[in-house]
């Protein structure tokens, strides 16, 4: 059984430069993150593999899944537990042809059709957003809001991970709208104390799931 986490911390070194991807993975896991996502748009494949290998080592020690965004080849090279495809990346069904059946595959989907398509192709979870206005992504789409999130969660037959502009103050609302979990970037990576930020998010998520 594939375990999908409820707090995906997406490491980032463009919105901040204090911490490396590897350090952020370590800090987020310390705070209780149950999934780490590695996303890096630039750099050579060799450089990305080297970073991902170090992150995979930390994730392995702590039994936390590492999910590599956009790059199935790097996920495969380092033995990561999963990969995540954006809407412009490889389709889920093609990824399934060469990735292990045990590999977690997440897919970004913005419309009902795309969600159903990704699920039919074997996506293990759907990334949906941005829920709120976000500054972590250039050219971000119009915020979807909680009502559309709720509709998509009702439609999906797999976990929905909400992303985009989610803060500690709005995390509980997102979970109560039906999201299985939350993915964050700046709300952890851009904070003075990523460990505390992660810990606070986990507490909010778990509390919202119990109420």
Q: Nearest to residue 189, comparing CAs of 7, 43, 58?
A: 7
Provide the residue ranges of all domains of the chain, joining segments of one domain with +: 7-210
* pLDDT at residue number 197: 98
Torsion angle defined by CA atoms of residues 148, 153, 156 and 162, in that order, rounded to the nearest 10 degrees: 90
Q: Nearest to residue 24, comparing CAs of 175, 133, 186?
A: 186
Q: Which CATH superfamily is domain 7-210 in?
A: Aldolase class I (3.20.20.70)
137 part of the active site: yes
DSSP 44: -
State the CB neighbour count (10 A cutoff) for residue 113: 9
199 part of the active site: no
Euclidean distance between CA atoms 185 and 11, whole angstroms? 6
* pLDDT at residue number 115: 94
* pLDDT at residue number 116: 95
> 209, 192 in Cβ contact below 8 A?
no
What pTM was estimated for this model as a whole? 0.96
Cis peptide before 130 (omega within 30 of 0): yes
Euclidean distance between CA atoms 190 and 204, whole angstroms? 19
| Averaged pLDDT, groups of 10, the chain, 211 residues long | 93 95 98 97 95 98 97 96 93 93 95 94 96 75 94 96 97 98 97 97 97 84
User: Burial level of 154, CB count in 10 A (0-12/13-18/19+)?
Assistant: exposed
Query: Token pair of 137, please?
Result: 């992504």
Angle, CA of 6, 70 and 118, to the nearest 5°: 65
110 part of the active site: no
Q: What is the pLDDT of residues 125-150, one digit of tens each?
A: 999 999 998 876 666 689 999 999 99
Query: Token pair of 104, please?
Result: 């977690």
Active-site choice (137, 148, 196, 199): 137
Exposure class string for 54-71: b at 16+ Cβ within 10 A, else e: bbbebbeeeebbbbbbbb
Active-site choice (71, 108, 136, 186): 108
The SS3 of residue 107 is strand
């Amino acid at each position: 059984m594939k375990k999908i986490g409820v707090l995906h911390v997406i490491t980032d070194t463009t919105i901040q430069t204090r911490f490396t991807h590897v350090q952020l993975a370590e800090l987020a896991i310390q705070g209780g993150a149950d999934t780490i996502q590695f996303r890096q748009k630039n750099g050579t494949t060799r450089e990305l593999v080297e970073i991902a290998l170090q992150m995979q080592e930390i994730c392995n020690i702590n039994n936390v899944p590492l999910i590599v965004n956009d790059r199935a080849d790097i996920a495969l090279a380092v033995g990561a537990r999963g990969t995540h495809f954006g809407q412009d990346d490889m389709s889920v069904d093609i990824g399934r042809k060469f990735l292990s059946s045990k590999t977690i595959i997440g897919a970004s989907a913005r419309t009902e059709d795309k969600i159903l398509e990704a699920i039919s192709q074997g996506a293990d979870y759907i990334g949906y957003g941005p829920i709120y206005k976000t500054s972590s992504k250039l050219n971000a789409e119009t915020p979807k809001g909680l009502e559309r999130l709720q509709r998509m969660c009702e439609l999906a037959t797999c976990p929905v991970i909400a992303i985009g502009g989610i803060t500690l103050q709005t995390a509980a609302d997102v979970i109560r709208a039906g999201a299985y979990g939350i993915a964050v970037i700046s709300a952890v990576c851009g904070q003075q104390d990523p460990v505390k930020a992660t810990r606070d998010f986990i507490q909010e998520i778990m509390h919202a799931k119990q109420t």
